[in-house]
Amino acid sequence: MSFLNALPGAIAQGIIWGLMAIGVYITYKLLDMADLTVDGSITTGAAVCAMLVIAGVNVWVAMLVAMVAGMLTGLLTGLFHTFMGIPPILAGILTQLILWSVNLKIMDSKANQGLSARTYDVLVTQLERGKSILLLLAVVGVIIALLYWFFGTEIGCGVRATGCNLQMSHAQGINTSFNKILGLVLSNGIVALSGALLAQYQGFADINMGRGAIVIGLAAVIIGDAIFGKITSNFALKLLAVIAGGVIYYIVYQLVIWLGLDTDLLKMLSALVVAVFLAVPYWKAKYFARPKKKEAK
């Protein structure tokens, strides 16, 4: 398969994973917590959507239910963290493991459920890439518009303040526990939606499809920020940059496959690239920092 032939597929997958990365952006950038729930909740979204469509439910309804299911996974992680005092990373890992069992049960105890566009009436499919890309862009546009609105409201500003400065938030009467849960619910709802779209696009839901999702999400966020971060401070455009990050990630992914790289190594390389990018701000501060004007005591 030539690289150019693979390009539309890379773009479509990039948009879907970019949507997933918007969920990661909410927790990682806005709430300042790395939420590992996403590795499970993306599969939950895929599984719920696939099973409902197979059962004859309308695909839009199936996607909506998948999103709600994802929100519930975020709620669980949020309660682990705020109500039970478990550190956010561990809370996410616990939910992720719970979801492994739950997802299997949703998929009727099978590791894989087919959702072929030839048999079922789905919204996006790799059989019709052009149409799928347009539909995906429309979905992404609606989600970004909704998030732009939400994070500009009083409640949304409270969520952002919670991620930025806990002590200040308390002093200003903001219920930070509620806001953390709210952020996790929103984030995982979006991640599950992207899972539902991915299941349709690739034509199946698989118990392993979420493995390392957090890394791909972080990669998209980081790439988007690295390339477009300096250009804009507009929130909607920043979210769009995350989508672009996802697309670029998948184009590069296709490129290295086309160049003949051993695909077994792809996950390792993705993780290493993300590790290096995460280290950049740290290295910058440690080795290249200009001495800051000290404040007199």
Partner 1 sequence: MLELKNISKTFNPGTVNAKLALNGLDLKLNDGDFVTVIGGNGAGKSTMLNAIAGVWKPDAGQIIIDGTDVTPMPEYKRAAFLGRVFQDPMMGTAANMWLEENLALAQRRGKRRTLRWAITNKEREQYREMLKTLDLGLEDRLTTRVGLLSGGQRQAVTLLMATMNRPKLLLLDEHTAALDPKTAAKVLELTDKLINEEKLTALMITHNMKDAIAHGNRLIMMNAGRIIFDVSGEEKKNLTVDMLLEQFSKASGQEFANDRALLN
For residue 186, the minimal CB distance to partner 1 (Å) is 13
User: Residue 71 or 182: which CB sits closer to partner 1?
Assistant: 182
The residue assigned the tokens 């184009």 is 251
Q: Which residues neighbour 67 within 8 Å (Cβ) at sequence distance 6 or greater?
A: 45, 189, 190, 192, 193, 196
User: Residue 138 or 229: which CB sits closer to partner 1?
Assistant: 229
**Using a CB cutoff of 8 Å and minimum separation of 24, what contacts does 65-70 make?**
66/192, 66/193, 66/195, 66/196, 67/189, 67/190, 67/192, 67/193, 67/196, 68/189, 69/44, 69/45, 69/192, 70/41, 70/44, 70/45, 70/188, 70/189, 70/190, 70/191, 70/192, 70/193, 70/195
For residue 167, the minimal CB distance to partner 1 (Å) is 5
For residue 155, the minimal CB distance to partner 1 (Å) is 5
User: Residue 73 or 176: which CB sits closer to partner 1?
Assistant: 176
For residue 61, the minimal CB distance to partner 1 (Å) is 25
For residue 158, the minimal CB distance to partner 1 (Å) is 5
User: Residue 18 or 158: which CB sits closer to partner 1?
Assistant: 158
Encoded tokens for 20: 């997933």
The footprint of partner 1 (CB under 8 A) covers 150, 152-158, 160-161, 164-165, 167-176, 295-297
**Burial environment of residue 285 by CB neighbours within 10 A (0 to 12, 13 to 18, 19 or more):** exposed
CA-based radius of gyration for the chain: 19
User: Residue 146 or 269: which CB sits closer to partner 1?
Assistant: 146
Give the distance, in angstroms, between the CA of residue 273 and the centroid of all CA atoms in the same chain.
18
For residue 32, the minimal CB distance to partner 1 (Å) is 9
User: Residue 154 or 264: which CB sits closer to partner 1?
Assistant: 154
Amino acid at 115: L
